[in-house]
Amino acid sequence: MNLRPVVETHGVRLRPFRAQDSADVVDGCADPLTQRFVSNLPTPYTETDARWWIDVGAPAAWTGGGTAYAVADPATDRLLGAVGLNNPVPARGQLEIGYWMRPVARGRGVATAATRALSEHAFAAGTARLELLTEPENGPSQRVALAAGFRYEGLRRSAGASRDGGRHDLLAWVRVAGDPSGPTARLLPDLPGGVLTDEVVALRPLAADDAALMYRLHSRPEVVANQAPPVPPTREAMERRCRLAESGWLTGDIARLLITDVASGEPVGSCGLSYTDVAAGEASVGYALLPEWRGRGYATRAVRLLAEWAFGAAGVARLSAGTVPDNTASHRVLERVGFRREALQRGRLPGLAGARLDDLTFALLPADLR
């Protein structure tokens, strides 16, 4: 590859590191968020570490077949972060791209601009494929990948090294030379303004601090009885579900939402939407309410809001919902929204001790929505 030492495009300047960058390197690399997601950084990160990186580490990246660029503000040349290429796989024409940003540069699109700039420069120099690996809990980095034109390709189990000597999974985002230059279209777009509401109930994305509530809701006997298999979740599993909710949304796996009462702000329950057949444009919905909020029409309102968003911004063509046959309260919710009963699939779902459960399926088309 014949990569230039300075690249200036998309509102950022990529250049070599300089001695005067050392304080800003410390500012970025000693930051707790950078330390959390860049496991090979020294802890604590000091001026000595920054000088080693500028004098030894960054130049070594270039001689090893990769790159290490400082990301600078074109107007002031002040360091904002770093972006580079590493782990070359010549047979695939592949490199891995990574970055970190100083706290002052976050939320301004700098990481996206730097990633786009280096990606385009690498492709112009002959690279065929770029990989960007993120931790499943690092939602902001996944948003950078999508905004820079990378597509989610799958989970790499135990691909990352943890500071404690263990291993953890990584998500692979990939962009190839022939891909469009703009942001990657998402199966599950963000909610408009971050919330769906009819002024009585509101739906917002599930977050990590919702774990206690979600565990209380989904471990209730009547909620467990209506899932397959009917096994209560562990607290650890529910905490993980909440921590990974943003990632599941960004990868297109599932949109998990918390339902709240608008007047009081109190949590009411949860709901979710996931694609069952992307090519056919079909997705499924599920929902559960805390007992003190049942019988007020809140589930109907939540499912209707979710369906309107699905048929609108998400571009879904058909919604389905599976229920156990004796869950008549859930059937009434679906019917009030406009879902129609379609089929009883005998023994479709796993039960306990090898038993099988029937699945009563409902479906909704845009024209059916009430």
Q: How far apart are CA 75 and CA 82, in angstroms?
A: 17
pLDDT of residue 181: 84
Q: Which amino acid is at 259?
A: I
Question: In this structure, what is the dihedral angle of CA atoms 328, 334, 336, 342, given to the nearest 10 degrees?
Answer: -90
Read off the DSSP letter of residue 124. Answer: H
- Residue 260 makes CB contacts below 8 A (sequence gap 6+) with 201, 202, 203, 204, 266, 267, 268
**In this model, does residue 268 exceed pLDDT 90?**
yes
Q: How far apart are CA 151 and CA 176, in angstroms?
A: 9
Model confidence band, residue 336 (pLDDT cutoffs 50, 70, 90): very high
- Residue 315 makes CB contacts below 8 A (sequence gap 6+) with 281
Q: How far apart are CA 218 and CA 96, in angstroms?
A: 40
Q: What are phi and psi of 200, to 5 degrees?
A: -110, -50
Percent of the chain having pLDDT more than 70? 100
Read off the DSSP letter of residue 359. Answer: E
pTM for the whole structure: 0.93
Structure tokens that stand for 21 in this block:
């960058």
Unique residue bearing structure tokens 């001026």:
47
Average pLDDT over residues 52-70: 96
Model confidence band, residue 42 (pLDDT cutoffs 50, 70, 90): very high
Q: How far apart are CA 357 and CA 265, in angstroms?
A: 37
Q: How far apart are CA 337 and CA 269, in angstroms?
A: 18
Interval 120-158: pLDDT, tens: 999 999 999 999 999 999 999 999 999 999 999 999 999
Q: Contact at 8 Å (CB) between 10 and 16? A: no
In sequence order, what are the beta bridge partners of 196? 203
In sequence order, what are the beta bridge partners of 81? 71, 101
Q: How far apart are CA 369 and CA 354, in angstroms?
A: 37
Please tell me which residue, 89 or 349, carries the higher pLDDT value.
Answer: 89
pLDDT of residue 1: 67
pLDDT of residue 2: 80
Triad 362, 368, 370: Cα angle to 5°: 105
Q: How far apart are CA 230 and CA 23, in angstroms?
A: 56
